[in-house]
Structure 1
Amino acid sequence: MNDDRAGQTISRRARRRLLTPLMMGTALCLGVLPAVLPVPQAAAQAARTHSFSIASQPLNAALRALADQTGVQIAYATSVAAGTIAPAVSGTMSTEDALARLLSGSGLRYSFTNANTVTILEAGATTDIGNVAADGSTVLDTIDVLGGGGGFSPDTPYETAGSSTYISGEQIERFRGTSTGDILSGTPGVLNGDNRNGAALDVNIRGMQGQGRSPVSVDGAIQETTVYRGYSGVVGRSYVDPDLIGSVAIEKGPSSAADGAGVIGGIIRMSTITVDDILLPDRTFGVRLKGGFNTNNSSVPPVGTWGGLSGAGNYPNDSVPTSFGGPDGMDRPGFLEPTGGSGSIAAGYRSDYVDLVAAYARRRHGNYHAGTRGDAIPKPEIGPQYGWIIVNGERVWGPLDDRSTVTFPGLSRYRAGEEVLNTSQDNASILLKGTIRLPHDQQIDLGFMRYESTYGEIMPSQVLWNPGGGAYQAWLNSIELDTYTAKYKWDPADNDLIKLNVGLWMVDSNLILPYQWYFTDQTPPPELANWFGSKGRRWGVNIDNTSFFETAWGDVSLNYGGSYTYEIIRPGDGTELDGRRGNRRELSLFTAGQWKPTDWLTLDASLRYSDFTSKDTR
């Protein structure tokens, strides 16, 4: 998957493929479009002003910078710009003025062929770039097309083999919901486990979930945190705020990528916001503000507060309850009464060599209230109690005449409109990231994200097994998560054998998970407040390179590399479970190839070797 953002140079391979029939068509169209599209559109684009900051550098690089800052496409033969140094261009001016300054003294001329395309030619040359072959066709020189960009887009799932899904920043904003997992709503084959219970991502892809089967990667870092769930075992959770996510790419099934070691169900790759998500196209600095509020939730009640239906059990017929559940939790707020909300601020700066992003997000709401419609609303069922009785002198199992049993069928234990306990969250997130563009088509990306959350959670067994079938407000859990990422990219435009990516990441977590008790007739002692807590550190490195080959039997591309991950876990400060100590490491080597013998056939193959070791260090 190519994660280059729109607006950068199109990929080397795509550029070459455009040289034959597609680029020929483009070149021919350049001479025709002025007669088809209204000339004022091209004039308007040329006259549009931008704030430029382009240093003196080789003309190829200078034209790339101009394309990035204006969004226009620039078409020219590679040979005409070779060996030419462009002067510096700085200040606010029109696109045409900036282009004229870059080309001053080079002997080259330019022509806007439509609203978003400009052609650069040698003085006296025509728009038919190239020579005429014996059969009358036009043979083109190598042509660079700058601007437009590539990368993973909403159309990629329909253009590539395999099953995948792309969720854009616009979709995240539109369907953000109140829980983090709501951004995945409507994605075929994908759901978030415990979406209202835990304030995190525990993604299920086609029935595969947890323990690295369907991991979540945030800017290349796998931040899965192991959370104890009592008799249900453990779950693997990832924590992130939707306001800091710029896009999501979901690859379903086993992955042949560098970060796909151990993946069975699929992998969710989340990319945090960049300057393109913050800045207007012609600006170098900007600030983005987001905010919203929600209703239908209430402040968290004191620990030990009972809620939900209660009273299940056996009773004498004259003592069967007539109502089930206490008076608390039924004070649902008004329709437009703001009881929770979220907000974020993000600032971005862009220059020729550096991009910077800083963001802060806050999200808070209490326990939500159950709906008032649907078949899931529980209704108590009262029936006879069964026991040993005497029938015709024989002892048999049957209904007792003087006793009744109250049961609550189904999974829900809350009345219509009642406050659903342990569903609150209070989150704060910080994001700092930067991009450094180096000479010779190199790039370094650095990032740091901190996530802090205090949230409600109740183990499923607690709801069903507590006396009377009721629920209670437990202590709140908390998580502190620090994510560090560093990535290096080298993609020289003149070398088809090198497209190198190196990623180094580390995740530190501190989870406080209190003990959950079965009886709440007294407040539990303070030493239970971090009974199941844990601290973890996971770090890893991913390296891969892609090489392209042209052969007599078709085009071939090879992607190969490896990854290494090391993780340690130990008890949290103050916890009583001293035995939860261990470490694990995973080494993976892979190669994936693609052969395209014809335009209508593509063959893919991949191979992975993995070595995994885990150790109990009690």
Structure 2
Amino acid sequence: MAWGKFTRGSARAQRFGAALVGTTALVGGIGISAEVAAQQTQASSQAAQNTIKFAIPAQPLANAIVAFSAASGVNIVSGGVIASGIQSSAVSGKLTARQALDKLLAGTGYSYRFTGATSVTLVDPNSAADAGATVDGAIALATIDVTGGAGSSWAAAEEAPYTSAGSTAFISQEQINRVPPTSTGDMFKNTTGVLARGNRNGSKIDVNIRGMQGQGRVATMVDGAVQQSSIATGYAGYDSRTFVDPEMIGGVDIEKGPGGTPGAMGGSVNMRTMNAGDIVRDGNTVGLRLRGGMGSNTVVPTLYSMVPGMDSPDRPSLDNSFGSIAAGIVTDKVEIVAALSRREQGNYFAGKNDKNNSVRFVPNPWALTYFPGEEVFNTSQSSESSLVKGKLNLTESASVELSYMNYNSRYGEESADMLTAFGWLKMEYGPNEVNVDTYTSKFTYNPSDSKLINFVARAWASDQDDDFKGVQGDGAVFTHGYSVSNTSELDVPVGEVSLKYGWDYFNEDASLQLRPTGTSTKVVGERSMHSGFLNAMWLPLEWLKLQGGGRYDTFAMESKGPNPILSPKTGERLNPNAAITIAPFDGVQLFGKYAEGWRPPSLRETMYRESVFPNPNLRPETAKTYELGVNYVREKLLTENDRVRLKALYFNNTYDDYILRMQRLAGGLWFANAKTAEFDGFEVSGSYDAGIVFADVALTRYTKIAYCISDAKCDGREPDSDYGSPYVPPKHTGTITLGTRALDQKLTLGGRIFFAGERYLESTSNRFKQIWDPFVVYDVFGSYEVNEHFRIDGSIENITDLYYFDPLTTASVPSPGRTARVSATARF
């Protein structure tokens, strides 16, 4: 197969057609809804008179406006930049939008006027724009969209983890770009309980959430489309592979634990691509963003070389570079963004400073390993990405969104079999290649004069083709699905009640081209899930929130092709959840949450015959999770303009019928159900921002990780046959970020500490041991806003040039040594 070309013939065309037909059908239904929506948006007065529950603390006015918009659904535009020193007043209770705005703006000097059913213009009497000509007696303003663009959705996502019961997290584009990722999974460093397995080996993302990973335990999505394939990596188990260029990401939403996505009992990760509002400046209709950068510490790989280089480049060069261009349009009716990116990265060099006296990753004298300062073969990548995304506002109540993204990469990757060392050569092999097409569509209908309707329908498809030169050959998976949901707010005698209910469906159609002994055997199968859900929230008192509900999940799977090896298999389960939140003081929330989840066996575990036998009789895994914690949000803690956010919690997660690789009585290995697996621990995350200084912290500490294979064998250790269980996290991990802003906040300087402890459980395997030493890595970063159009960023990763291995490393691939980067961004 020629690199850069993928041909799937009629099957791929049919898949694309299916996605297109589904999207067209969704859009075709909009005409009916649009006519209904048009009748619902006649007068602004009616929207302004509806009463809404508000609980907005006093805070900087810009943040308060975002909170008001999120609560009310009213879009606010401003005639200028809102000064950072202006504080809002607190707003609490059931009020109309007008009453809430009156309270919010009291004492700020700002006024407002309704310009539509859900549109308000904010008026600053000190703005030069307010001194201009009037239109029909009103001030003509050059509007800046404060809440309708991308900024509002990202701001709300950043706040959500600190105001919700249970564990969620958000990674912003700013956090990703502070120290740009050498490997895509680096963007999870600042998140509690989340690691990227095998992050240095290949260009994929394989997410581990609190010890759960692989086989669909964690749903990894791009714009809501599940995108992951399963590839065998020999003695390191199985990858769940997701591919995306960080340059296309606007933000990452993370949910830990079951409930959000059917079958994903470990949690979910949704990487949202950029929006038009990320490109178009406030007040403009069109925008253009150009970005490019270079890094050091890489070299162009030499195919089949067996002698690693030792001279790591100190200066940034095009051997480690990226570039992107993105254009956007934003009007009252249409939002469109289109982007292209390209990334080139040669093989990187390991750190030279070996503080652990050359203790190797695998304590095996025959095992292949890379030594301090060496070029690490097969760590290069060359990728291109493209994105087209649009939103059409049919009325003030109805909108439709469509997007398409393509990702293509040629990347190096070591086989984990190198850890056994028997005859394996240290050598630069030919690249793997992956191509991914992702399609999404979304329809939203939210009439301003109805509390009963907030309807969202989605349809998506992901087509991934991974030409993997590892142990088990190529993998291809086509995944598609849809979801419909509605949120209704009910008037009840005591407090307020909201209901969210709907239906999710997804289908996975996968094939694996096996090459165990030079022959080629194709195995294909199909797996689908339906899930109906209902979740209720009741606010009986100002300080009390009760939540509860559940999902009713069903699944079906079967073999396909001329020689099916699995009879059709089905199952069903009701998975409940409940939560309580108590707010004893302003800005303080105490919460508890219980949730159950369910994961049916994967196609690989039930039907793919490789070095491990499938087991068609596997029982689904069941999760039972508890969380207790506290949220703390406060303004003016130390200064007039600071803000602190904190989340601290304890989690206890038990997984019954957990699936592992075990010895068969008939000989060989197969997948089988263990009795339980348990992961307990603490997480602390938070931020402090006073303008001139800022800080972020993310700490994870496990107090128990244990496996009970059966009632008779419950010593807490994973079985020897599971090859060292490459999903066991370290005892503790964390990051601490400190920074300062100067020169009217145009200059930002800061540093980050990333650290991890030893593996929680000592590996019991005699042949494969995943061991890493505790480490502390120091990074620095900075940026300077030259003017409103041009920005320069720089960073140095691993400034002490430490030789170390990341947690959950697969293969003997050390992490990068000292790497300097510089980039520039131009916006017009």
Structure-2-length-normalised TM-score: 0.52
- Supply the AA of the counterpart residue of 2:503: G
1:454-498 CA distance string (max 9 Å, x none): 11111212243233x752222211100000001001111111111
Change (3 A) 1:222 1:29: closer
Larger Rg: 1
2: CA distance between counterparts of 1:117 and 1:503? 26
Aligned pair 1:193/2:197, yes or no?
A: yes
Indicate whether 1:216 and 2:220 are aligned. Answer: yes
Q: Which runs of 5 or more structure 2 residues have no equivalent in the other structure?
A: 1-62, 75-90, 564-828
Q: Distance in 2 between matches of 1:331 and 1:33?
A: 60
Distance in 2 (alpha carbons) for counterparts of 1:573 and 1:464: 21
CA contact under 8 A between 1:532 and 1:576: conserved in structure 2? no
Q: Is structure 2 residue 555 aligned with structure 1 residue 615?
A: no
Distance 1:22 1:349, change over 3 A: closer
Q: Which amino acid aligns with 1:361?
A: S
- C-alpha change, 1:23 and 1:339, in structure 2 (3 Å) is same
The structural deviation recorded for 1:578 is 2.7
1:509 aligns with 2:450: no
Does residue 464 of structure 1 match 2:420? yes
Match of residue 170 from structure 1: 174
Aligned to 1:477: 432
**How far off its partner does 1:366 sit?**
1.3
Q: Residues 203 and 146 of structure 1: is their aligned pair in 2 closer, same or farther, counting only changes over 3 Å?
A: closer
The counterpart of 1:423, out of the listed 364, 379, 391, is 379
Deviation of 1:205 (Å): 0.6
Residue 300 of structure 1 is matched in structure 2 by 301
Question: What is the identity, as a one-letter code, of the residue corresponding to 1:237?
Answer: R
**Residue type of the alignment partner of 2:392:** I
Would you say 1:360 and 2:416 are equivalent positions? no
Quick one: distance in 1 between partners of 2:312 and 2:350?
9
Q: Secondary structure at the match of 1:495?
A: coil
Structure 1 residues 357 and 149, CA, compared in 2 at 3 Å: closer, same or farther?
closer
Cα shift at 1:13: 5.2
Cα distance in 1 for partners of 2:496, 2:456 equals 22
Counterpart of 2:420 in 1: which secondary structure? helix
Amino acid at match of 1:10: S
1:27–1:590 distance in 2 versus 1, CA, 3 Å: same
Matched, 1:60 2:116: yes
**Cα gap change, 1:10 to 1:412, in 2 (>3 Å):** farther
Question: Among 473, 495, 506, which residue is 1:532 paired with?
Answer: 473
Tell me the CA shift for residue 443 of structure 1: 0.7
Distance 2:521 2:355 in 1: 45
**TM-fit CA distance, 1:167:** 1.3
Partner of 2:524: 581
Q: How many angstroms does 1:331 deviate by?
A: 3.3
1:584: how far off?
0.9
2:549 matches 1:606: yes
Task: Report the AA paired with residue 279 of structure 2.
Answer: I
- Asked if 1:547 is matched to 2:494, the reply is no
Match of 2:441 among 483, 486, 510: 486
Name the residue aligned to 1:20: 95
Structure 1 residues 583 and 29, CA, compared in 2 at 3 Å: closer, same or farther? closer
Shift of 1:269: 1.6
In structure 2, C-alpha distance between the alignment counterparts of 1:96 and 1:217, rounded to whole Å? 48
Q: 2:183 aligns with which of 179, 182, 185?
A: 179
Pick closer, same or farther for the CA change 1:111–1:333 going to 2, 3 Å.
closer
Give me the TM-score of the superposition, normalised by structure 1: 0.69
SS of the equivalent of 2:430 reads: coil
Q: What CA distance in whole angstroms lies between the structure 2 residues aligned with 1:436 and 1:95? A: 31
Secondary structure in 1 aligned to 2:453? Answer: coil
Q: Which amino acid aligns with 1:181?
A: G
- Corresponding residue for residue 591 of structure 2: none
* 1:334 positional shift: 3.5
Partner of 2:288: 287
8 Å contact 1:413–1:470 — kept in the other structure? no
Measured after TM superposition, the shift of residue 339 of structure 1 is 2.7
- The equivalent of 1:137 in structure 2 is none
Paired with 1:146 and 1:508, the residues of 2 have a C-alpha distance of 32
| Alignment-derived partner of residue 316 in structure 1 | none
Q: Counterpart in 1 of 2:539? A: 596
Percent sequence identity over aligned pairs:
33
The separation in 1 between residues aligned to 2:161 and 2:422, in whole angstroms, is 47
SS where residue 218 of structure 2 aligns? coil
Q: What residue is the counterpart of 1:499 in the other structure?
A: 454
Q: Is the 8 A contact 1:379 1:408 kept in 2?
A: no
Question: Relative to structure 1, is the Cα distance of residues 492 and 96 closer, same or farther in structure 2, using a 3 angstrom cutoff?
Answer: farther
Q: Look up the match of 2:277.
A: 276
Q: Is the 8 A contact 1:214 1:263 kept in 2?
A: yes
The alpha carbon displacement at 1:411 in A equals: 7.8
Quick check: 1:369 aligned with 2:349?
yes
Q: CA deviation at 1:248?
A: 1.0
Quick one: distance in 2 between partners of 1:416 and 1:31? 62
* Contact 1:12/1:496 (<8 A) preserved: no
Secondary structure of 1:153's match? Answer: helix
SS of residue matched to 1:301: coil
Q: CA deviation at 1:208?
A: 0.5
2 CA distance for matches of 1:332 and 1:616?
Answer: 50
Deviations 1:302-355 (A, max 9, x none): 23x33xxxxxxxxxxxxxxxxxxxx54223324455531111110001111111
The question of whether the paired residues in 2 share the 8 Å contact of 1:13 and 1:548 is answered with no
User: Structure 1 515/168 Cα, relative in aligned 2: closer, same or farther at 3 Å?
Assistant: closer
CA contact (8 A) 1:202 1:209 kept: yes
In the alignment, what sits opposite 2:697? none
How far has the Cα of 1:361 moved from its partner?
0.9
| Cα RMSD, aligned residues only | 3.7
2:293 alignment partner, SS class:
strand
Q: Secondary structure at the match of 1:27?
A: helix
Write the mapping of 1:80-479 to structure 2, written as runs, cut at 5 A: 94=129, 100-101=134-135, 103=136, 152-255=156-259, 257=260, 260-303=261-304, 305-306=305-306, 328-336=308-316, 338-375=318-355, 378=358, 408=364, 413-467=369-423, 470-479=425-434
Deviations 1:401-440 (A, max 9, x none): xxxxxx8569871111111111111111000000000125
The match for 1:128 is: none
Q: Partners of 2:282 and 2:544 in 1: how far apart?
A: 38
SS of corresponding position for 1:182: helix
The amino acid across from 2:340 in the alignment is Y
- Measured in 2, the distance between the counterparts of 1:561 and 1:504 equals 14
Distance 1:421 1:409 in 2: 20
User: Which whole-Å CA distance do the structure 2 matches of 1:470 and 1:376 have between them?
Assistant: 25
Equivalents in 2 of 1:221, 1:336: separation in Å? 35
Hey, what's the Cα distance between the residues in 2 that align with 1:572 and 1:409?
34
- Structure 1 residues 350, 13: closer, same or farther in 2, change over 3 A? closer
In 2, the alpha carbon distance for the partners of 1:488 and 1:464 equals 52
Deviation at 1:222, TM superposition (A): 0.6
Report Cα offsets for 1:554-597 as digits up to 9, x if no partner. Answer: 11111111111112122469995333211111111111111110
Please tell me whether residue 563 in structure 1 is matched to residue 504 in structure 2.
Answer: yes
Distance change (3 Å), C-alpha of 1:97 and 1:496: farther
In 1, Cα distance between equivalents of 2:349 and 2:443? 47
CA distance in structure 2 between the partners assigned to 1:265 and 1:410 by the alignment: 36
Task: State the alpha-carbon separation in 2 of the partners of residues 378 and 73 from structure 1.
Answer: 65
CA distance in 1, matches of 2:69, 2:103: 20
Q: Which has the higher contact order (CA 8 A, sep 6+)?
A: 2
